[in-house]
Every structure is written in C-alpha cells, then in structure tokens.
Amino acid sequence: MMQEKFIDKLQKIISTCNSEGMYRGNYIPENKLSNAIKHFSFDTTDTPLALIDTTVFGSAKLGMIIGHKGIYFKNDWNVESVRNFLSWQEIAESDFKIRKKTFEIEILPNCNFGMSAANMKRDALIDLLTEITESYNNM
C-alpha cells in the first residue's frame, strides 16, 4: 500500500515538474528512451517516468532515467561514480544532502551525476530529487 501511495505521489511530482531538458511520461522520445535503456543499467521491470539527456547531440546514451524504483544514470568518462543506480529508499534514508558540484551533482557520497551537457539546470534536478525523497520520507 505504501509503495502504491508513493508511486502516485512520484508520478504527480514528475508531471508537475516543467524543466527544460527533462522529458516526461508519454513525451519521452522513443529513440532517446531506447538508447537510454540500452546504455544504462536499467531494470526492465521498472517504469521510466522521466529522462534527462546529458549528451551534446541528443542521443540520450548518457543521462538519467527516473523510475518507480529509483534513478538510473550513466556518465561520460570524466565523471566518477561508484554506482549507477540508487533506490528511492536509500536516497531518502541517507543523511547526505544532495549537492551541486562544478559540472555535476553528488546524490550520495561518491555517487555523482554529470550534467555538463544537460539542458536541465543542476538546481532544478536537485530540487526535483529532494522533493521526491522528502515525499518518500513522509509516507
């Protein structure tokens, strides 16, 4: 029951986020989503709700998928991250505050998401992820 309630809130939060560089729901271009799923370690039992493309030419071979279970991301060679999937639970239960770095955001310690070629602003993504994790904590 809690999971269903969270998914409803998650979908609502994403549907109301209107940030440049983020594709939502049925408006995610099929070719971008296909590339992202192919190149990220995406769990095909999850549901992609949003896609942030961080490629220069728009192929979505790098970026982030926001799903029911968490976030999946792939960076270019110069952004270090020890993981490429983080569940909503582990982000929400961490005491770590998502923070902005020079060209990336640090979601958890040593879990960085590169945004140097993203159209979406780092602050907008931090706000979105923070709102989602606060919603998870309030369940």
Q: What is the pLDDT of residues 95-131, one digit of tens each?
A: 899 999 989 999 999 999 999 989 999 999 999 999 9
Q: Give CA–CA dist 74/135, Å, rounded.
A: 25
pLDDT at 130: 95
- Given a contact cutoff of 8 angstroms between Cβ atoms, the answer to whether 71 and 129 are in contact is yes
Q: What is the pLDDT of residues 3-60, one digit of tens each?
A: 889 999 999 999 999 888 899 999 999 999 999 999 998 999 999 999 999 999 989 9
User: pTM to 2 decimals?
Assistant: 0.93
81: helix, coil or strand?
Answer: strand
- Given a contact cutoff of 8 angstroms between Cβ atoms, the answer to whether 56 and 35 are in contact is no
**Tokens 């942030």 identify what position?**
52
- Given a contact cutoff of 8 angstroms between Cβ atoms, the answer to whether 96 and 73 are in contact is no
Nearest one of 45, 38, 59 to 117, comparing CA atoms: 59
**What percentage of the chain carries pLDDT values higher than 70?**
99
Mean pLDDT, residues 77-100: 92
pLDDT at 1: 46
- Given a contact cutoff of 8 angstroms between Cβ atoms, the answer to whether 113 and 107 are in contact is yes
In the predicted model, is pLDDT for residue 2 greater than 80?
Answer: no
- Given a contact cutoff of 8 angstroms between Cβ atoms, the answer to whether 55 and 63 are in contact is yes
